[in-house]
Every structure is written in structure tokens, then in C-alpha cells.
Amino acid sequence: DGGITQSPKYLFRKEGQNVTLSCEQNLNHDAMYWYRQDPGQGLRLIYYSQIVNDFQKGDIAEGYSVSREKKESFPLTVTSAQKNPTAFYLCASSPSGTGGYEQYFGPGTRLTVT
Amino acid sequence: GENVEQHPSTLSVQEGDSAVIKCTYSDSASNYFPWYKQELGKRPQLIIDIRSNVGEKKDQRIAVTLNKTAKHFSLHITETQPEDSAVYFCAASGYGGATNKLIFGTGTLLAVQP
């Protein structure tokens, strides 16, 4: 399962704390993405990055922040401003450019906030 | 806005029967349509994809058809097996021009009864 990794697999935090989820890829992909998945729901885009030092908000960016300082890494911070942070978080990467490309997903991080 | 509708949300079939899942997209600029399979607690994985210059694509028991005029595409699984049981997501890309952003449907839970 190399290629794109996420850590940790499970994460528990108290309400009011910020938490950072790690995502690393060695596929030499320019584009990286963060999705949130809730039970019985699809994948909702939080943030995406087409190139290093640049990123754009997705559909549900409020309460989240990201950075893209290296091509290989795209960490996601869940801030205390996120109202319902408990969810399964998936990171993905793909080549960049026109035409559309397969996105490769990491194994996910299940975050529980109490 | 950008939207992908997926039906049905749940589908139960007998082993050996066929299963069909349908998706409709809203942006006529979409040009790439992947299908992902997600087993419980696992990452989504691409099973087949199709580009807008093709009307049908087949890979063993799996096929995808695309109707650009009607803006819908479908996944067909023949001779279903218990290991086909999973959640299936459709997606559409090409939104916003050069971006590889995917918009996902809400998923179909397929149960294959032995």
C-alpha cells in the first residue's frame, strides 16, 4: 500500500483542540486533495492543491486549514472552529493538467472529537 | 452549481445477477468520469473510468456507458459475486477548466446475496 500514506489511522481529541492530519505521497503527483466522509455520505472536498505553495478551498473548507510547502506533503489542520469534526478523512493525489486523472487515495484517518 | 446525482442509494441483488448504478452530472464541460469502489473502512479504489470522447468501456465483468447529450453515465456489473459487495461512487471531472477536481456522487451500497 505504498504511494500515498496518512497518519495516524485513528485520532482522538478533546473539543476545542486543533489537530493536524498527515498526508504524504511518493508518486510525484502535482495535485493533492483532502476529503471528508461521513457515514452514508459521499466524499466532500475540503481543500485541494494543484502545485506547491498554492491551494484552493473546496466545498466545505470552513474550520480547516492546509499548507503545501513540499510536493510530497499536504497536511490538514482541523481547527476548533470546525463544528462537527468527527469524520473519516481521506487524502488523495493525482497528476495535474487538463483532461482529468485518476485520484489515488490514502488509507484515511478516522478522527473522533469528544 | 456543480452536482453529481447517483441512484440508487442501495441495491441488493442475487449472486449472478447484474447490477446497474446511474449518475447524472450538471456541468457540460465535464470530460472524465471515474468509478470508485470502497469496501468497509477502506480507501476508495478506481475500478473503471471513461472519457468524454468514448461512449462505452468494458473491463471483464464491469462496463461503463456515457451519454453526453443527456449528461448521464452508468456502471454495469454482470455476473455479480459476493466480493462485489461494497459502496460504489461515481464522479465527474473537468469542472472549472484546467482543474482536476472531482465531484463525487453520494454513493451506492451494493449487497450481493449468495
Q: Would you state the pLDDT for residue B83?
A: 96
pLDDT digits (tens, 9 = 90+) for A54-66: 999 998 999 999 9
Residue numbers in B near A41 (CB within 8 A):
106-107
The b-or-e profile of A61-76 (16+ CB within 10 A means b, else e) is beebbbebeebbebbb
Maximal CA-CA distance, chain A: 42
Q: Residue A59 and residue A45: Cα distance in Å, rounded?
A: 6
Pairs of CB atoms within 8 A across A/B = 63
- B 10-69 near A (Cβ less than 8 A): 31-32, 34, 42-46, 49, 51
Q: What percent of chain B has pLDDT over 90?
A: 77
Condensed to tens digits (0 to 9), the pLDDT of residues A29-43 reads 999 999 999 987 789
Whether A60 and chain B come into contact, CB under 8 Å, resolves to: no
Q: pLDDT tens per residue, chain B (114 residues)?
A: 678 999 999 999 999 999 999 999 998 888 899 999 999 989 999 999 998 888 999 999 999 999 999 999 999 999 999 999 999 999 998 665 546 789 999 999 999 999
* For B2, nearest residue in chain A (alpha carbons): A59
